[in-house]
Amino acid sequence: MWLTLLSRGESDLATRCFAEQFFHQIEGNAQGLELKDEECSFSKEGNFKELPCEEVPHIFFEYIEKENSAKVKADFIVVVQDKCILVPKGSLLKTFSIEYSMVRIRVTEGEPIEKWSEIASSISKKGIYRRLRSPIEGLLVLVYQDPLSKTDRYVLYVDTNNQAKVLRKNE
């Protein structure tokens, strides 16, 4: 029962990531994404090609450990529900980790988060329920789940400098 309660949910499975094709060689006939004005739309000829979101932190981020931040090496786009989040090259994203036995993230990419607002809940190995709050304020760009961690470990990437741009998704 607890596992069902704490799973991320179906809406998060719809998160998709796209990279500029010249920066990252994408195999096969990947879905494309095109930007026009304040909109993004899917197309085979788009400049941005789809890749697994799990690869984004490893390919696009240069970590600055002292500042708990990551500098973006090239433009990429995160598509979630009805919006696209364009993260330009050179953006500085603040990061923080959440790691407990079981975690449920309560925010999705593209949502603004306020400092000390509730963003997740967790259950420890001893069965203690906790509400987790954000230590920073900004636009949530990406939620990365570490697949190799023995516990639920998430890294949240937040744009605190208003560098990321939220675009409307056009079907």
Which CATH number do you get for residue 60?
Answer: 2.40.50.100
Q: What whole-number distance in Å separates Cα of residue 88 and Cα of residue 73?
A: 9
Which residue segment(s) compose the domain that 86 sits in?
A: 2-170
Beta strand 39-42 pairing with 165-170:
parallel
100 touches 124 (CB < 8 A)? yes
Q: What pLDDT does residue 6 have?
A: 34
Residue ranges in the chain whose pLDDT is less than 70? 1-14, 21-31, 171
pLDDT tens digit string along 133-165?
Answer: 999 999 999 999 988 889 899 999 999 999 999
* Closest residue by Cα to residue 152 from 104, 86, 91, 82: 104
Entry pTM: 0.83
Q: Please provide the DSSP assignment of 72-93 as one string.
A: ESS-EEEEETTEEEEE-TT-EE
pLDDT for 81 equals: 86
CB 69 within 8 A of CB 89: no
Domain count for the chain? 1
Amino acid type, 137: E
> What pLDDT shows up at residue 36?
79
Contact indicator for 51, 141 with CB cutoff of 8 Å: no
pLDDT of residue 137: 96
Residues 53 and 9: their CA atoms lie apart, in Å, by 16
